[in-house]
Amino acid sequence: MTASRILLLVLDGISDRPCRELGHLTPLQAANTPVLDRIAREGICGIMDTIGAGVRPGSDTSHLSLLGYDPKSCYTGRGPLEALGCGIRMEPGMIGFRCNYATIGSDGRVLDRRAGRIHRTQPLSEAIEEGVDLSSLGVSFVFRSGAGHRAALALKGNRLGANVSSNDPKKEGLFPMQVRPLTEREEDRRTADACNEFVRQSKEVLEKHPLNRERIARGEPPANLVLVRGAGEMGHIEPFGERYGLEGSVISAAALVTGIGRAVGLEHVSVEGATGSMDTNLEGKVRAAIGELGRREFVLMNIKGADEASHDGLAREKAAFIERIDASLQPLEELEGVLLVICGDHSTPCAIREHSADPVPVVIHGDGVRTDGVASFDEISCANGGLHRISGLSLMPIALDLINKAHKYGA
């Protein structure tokens, strides 16, 4: 029997380096993962460079690559994808940005780039949309909340450009920067001016907002500044259905992954309680994936929480969340006719709190799949598997071949 459907499960930021606090094991090695280990024993394993050896992938470029789209030819910036994922309809000429709610102190320095990983920011975003006016610059905008501290901004107006910098200093303790045009073009100068005015006016709105006053009273960091980055204009991406002949869905709380799914034509399926953090509704996401596989041939499911733990340098918490993931995946073992592909999208070592170029583990499990001698799912064990070391762009062709949907090359 050959599987006929594909579930691509991306464990966001799951891959790591040895952590001193875990006895020099990675969180995957330290965690108790009987389900993932059983899938590894019954499947074929390997390690994967989602972009290329030595290249630090972004979550955006890595997911495009995992879906078989070469980011070198179709990637135009993270902003438009984040905007799509937040429900903004990106029209031609609009410039999209990914945003963070952040906390600045009385001296203007950034104290927390994620405002204490604030959640439920819709009231703040609605107040910004109502209170900020860029019409004097000939620009209108849409601003929407994403999961947690994330949001997206889209600018609309005549002659706007996407070649602008960010106001994000990337580190706490530094002052926010001015957004600058990166070329001499008038279009880029107009966009930079609009961004700086948006940041200025939105800061005034946020400082007065009752939600922030309540947070300060509770001793929590206020979300009193918007950081904007990742400018881009939406390009054309070949629809997934036309490219592969498969209808698909995307299940993700992360606006970026949702946006990538929407950009390629995957239907987004929302799950109550899915937060994109370590408190997410894992069981609900698994149930939703199983439901979608009853009517779709392809499902992309992203689980984000391990990546957040890595960015905060929380190795023990990351290992504990991996154990939660493992327990939630048990129903997937019972699926019939499904090719289960499990991988990371990039490594996020707790030691550096940022993405790295270390390859990620991957396992493919299902009817007709060759097995190897790997007995556990982790970065070191999977390196000995039968897939060996592959690239992200190879994953979809391998999966298509295993469900008998690949085309012969040659006569």
| CATH at 255 | 3.40.720.10
The pTM of the full predicted model, rounded to 2 decimals, is 0.88
Q: Domain for residue 356, yes or no? A: yes
| Coil, strand or helix at 226 | strand
Contact assessment for residue 391 and residue 232, using Cβ atoms and an 8 Å cutoff: no
What confidence score (pLDDT) does residue 66 get? 98
Q: From the centroid of its chain, how far is CA 160?
A: 27
Distances (CA, A) of 392 to 33, 57, 71, 137, 395: 24, 10, 11, 42, 5
The number of domains in the chain is 2
Q: Is residue 120 located within the same domain as residue 213?
A: yes
pLDDT at 364 over 80: yes
- Asked whether residue 272 falls in the same domain as residue 365, the answer is yes
Residue 221 lies inside a defined structural domain of this protein: yes
Same domain, 225 and 146: yes
| Nearest to 60, CA basis, from 83, 87, 82, 84 | 82
Q: Mean pLDDT across the stretch 146-157? A: 93
pLDDT over threshold 80, residue 269: yes
Please tell me whether residues 208 and 151 are part of one structural domain.
Answer: yes
Please check whether residues 194 and 325 belong to one and the same domain.
Answer: no
**177, part of any domain:** yes
**Domain containing residue 353:** 5-76+237-402
Domain termination site, one of 187, 202, 233: 233
Number of Cβ atoms within 10 Å of the Cβ of 165 = 17
- Model confidence at 392, pLDDT cuts 50, 70, 90, reads very high
Collapsing DSSP states into helix, strand and coil, what is residue 355? coil
Please give the Cα distance from 59 to 55 (Å, whole number).
Answer: 12
246 plus 226 within the same structural domain:
no
Name the token pair of 223.
């979300």
Query: Which of 199, 233, 267 represents a domain boundary (last residue)?
Result: 233
| pLDDT 10s digits, 47-84 | 999 999 999 999 999 999 999 999 999 888 889 999 99
229 & 243 share domain: no
Q: Cα(257)–Cα(49) distance, rounded to whole angstroms?
A: 19
Q: Are residues 215 and 339 in the same domain?
A: no
